[in-house]
Every structure is written in C-alpha cells, then in structure tokens.
Amino acid sequence: MKILTVADQEEMSRRAAEMIIDLVRLKPSAVLGLATGGTPEGTYRLLALDHRKNGTDYREVRTVNLDEYAGLKPEDPNSYHTYMETHFFQYVNIPSEQHFLPDGTAASLNEECEDYDRLIDNLGGVDLQLLGIGRNGHIGFNEPGTAFNAGTHVVKLSESTRQANARFFGSVQEVPERAITMGIGTILKSRAILLLVSGPSKAEAMSRLLAGSEPDSNFPASALISHPNVTVIADAAAISAA
Ligand code: GLP
C-alpha cells in the first residue's frame, strides 16, 4: 500500500481527482469503480470543474458503483443512483447507458448480484476503484466478518453503519436494513484501488489499517494489504490520532 498523507480534505480531493483525470486521459475507455458517501464528494466536484474548464472527455468511460441500498428506487432522493447523478454524472459527458449501479429493487436481489459481477467482467474489469472507509473498517458495504473472496452480494447493514449514514436520511429508522455491495473479492479484482480517508472520525480505522500486517476479516479494509496496487490518500485529521 502506498500511503500519501495530505494536509486536509481539499488536498485529498485534489490528489484523487488528478489520479482519475490522468487515467481517463491515458485510457479514454477506462472503467471507473465509484464510491459514495461524504468522502468522495470533493473529488467529484473537482472532476466536474476540470471537465468544464479543461474538457477532459468521458464519452467512452464506463462506471460501476460499489453498492446500493436494497429497496430504494433509483429516483429515491437517498439512493446511490441519485447521489451519483447529483454529485457527478450530471456534470460530465458519460453517456447514461455507461453508468452502472446495482438495482436495489430487482425482483431477485441474488440474481442482480450475479448479473453485476458478470457485467463487471464483461466490461473488462475495473481499472481504478475509488473507495471510502467506514468507521468499523467497512469498504463498500462489506461489514466486518465478510469473506474476502466474496463476489457481489446482499448484506445486512450493521447498526453502526446505519447510524453513521442516518445523517443523509430523516432518521436512522429510514436507513434501509440491507444493501447490495460488490464483495471484497470483486473489489480486489480491480487493477488499481484508491482509498480516501478524511477526518477525525476515521482516525481509529486508519490506525488499525496502518498497524495491520496481514488481512483480518474482522476489519474489511485490511483486505487491501494483499492487493499489489493500492494508494491510500489520508488527511492529517485521519492520521493524527493514528
Ligand atoms: C457508506 C458507503 C461506503 C463509504 C462509507 C463511508 O457506508 N457504502 O462506500 O465508504 O459509507 O462514508 P463517508 O465517506 O460518508 O464517511
């Protein structure tokens, strides 16, 4: 793992955006694995700005998102479909048929998961997977205890994850209890991984990640230790207590 320590969230976002822009310029048909949550919002904002000012072209880019809540329609204000539209897709020229997110309302969620892994394979795999981290070390929605070879699957969200994400909903009761997530096995197939970590609430997870010498299924982010091409960009607040 290559660890880059930066001053603050703004610098983290800038460095992440630069990596994504470099990749898209080098490989215009790149497959980008995208993440949601508060952490990557600044990166999406800077990618949108760069597209407007410098014309970085996303016409051939394909995107696959990590996860989606079960039971939320794409147009639900709290769905990750809506998040991606609001923060990124509306600002860049990726044709909408080249955006992919799991469908949390599919009649069979298990079939949806199998189809999603097949889709990623058919796209040729993910060139760069963007990740955030949960306070308990979850990546995507892979909660502690998830097998590291799992493909895309349905998960029951932990209470702490629902609490942490309640800020986007009216109350914790409104946070869905289940989600579809790329598995850790799916994530590890990505050719490169970019993990963003920001703020004091992530300091404990960051310190566990730095301290770990081998993968431990009780701490999902530790799976990244075994991947050959991982960059972690962490801001001072996330590192300070580490
Ligand atoms: C959610 C998402 C994760 C994200 C995590 C951290 O659970 N499924 O992909 O990394 O939250 O979110 P935040 O960046 O808001 O702290």
Q: Is 127 an annotated catalytic residue?
A: no
Domain residue ranges of the chain, discontinuous segments joined by +: 21-39+46-179
Residue-level pLDDT at 44: 98
Answer whether 51's CB lies under 8 Å from 88's CB.
no
Question: Which residue in 65, 138, 142, 165 is the catalytic one?
Answer: 138
77 Cα–ligand 1 center, Å: 17
Q: Is 143 an annotated catalytic residue?
A: yes
**pLDDT tens by residue, 92-122:** 999 999 999 999 999 999 999 999 999 999 9
Distance in angstroms (rounded) separating the CA atoms of residues 211 and 215: 11
Residue-level pLDDT at 23: 98
157 Cα–ligand 1 center, Å: 12
Three-class DSSP category at 69: strand
DSSP 189-208: TSSEEEEEE-SGGGHHHHHH
Task: Kindly report the average pLDDT of the chain as a whole number.
Answer: 96
Which residue in 59, 187, 36 sits closest to 126, CA to CA? Answer: 187
ipTM: 0.96
Residue-level pLDDT at 242: 44
The closest-lying atom of ligand 1 relative to the alpha carbon of residue 67 is: 8
Residue-level pLDDT at 212: 85
Residue-level pLDDT at 213: 83
Distance in angstroms (rounded) separating the CA atoms of residues 117 and 141: 16
Q: Is 67 an annotated catalytic residue?
A: yes
**Token duo for residue 57:** 């072209």
**pLDDT tens by residue, 65-90:** 999 999 999 999 999 999 999 999 99
Query: Which residues contact residue 175 at a Cβ distance below 8 angstroms, ignoring those fewer than 6 apart?
Result: 69, 157, 162, 165, 166, 169
Name the residue of 9, 12, 34, 39 to mutate for ligand 1: max ligand atoms within 8 A of Cβ: 39
Sign of CA dihedral 128, 129, 132, 138: negative
Residue-level pLDDT at 241: 57
Q: Which pTM does this prediction carry?
A: 0.96
60 Cα–ligand 1 center, Å: 27
31 Cα–ligand 1 center, Å: 21
Among protein residues, the one whose CA lies closest to atom 3 of ligand 1: 140
Question: Which residue in 65, 136, 142, 165 is the catalytic one?
Answer: 136
Ranges of the chain with pLDDT below 70: 241-242
> Is 137 near ligand 1, meaning CB less than 6 Å away?
no
Distance in angstroms (rounded) separating the CA atoms of residues 76 and 145: 30
**Token duo for residue 194:** 């970019």
125 Cα–ligand 1 center, Å: 22
Residue-level pLDDT at 101: 98
Q: Provide the CATH topology of domain 21-39+46-179.
A: Rossmann fold (3.40.50)
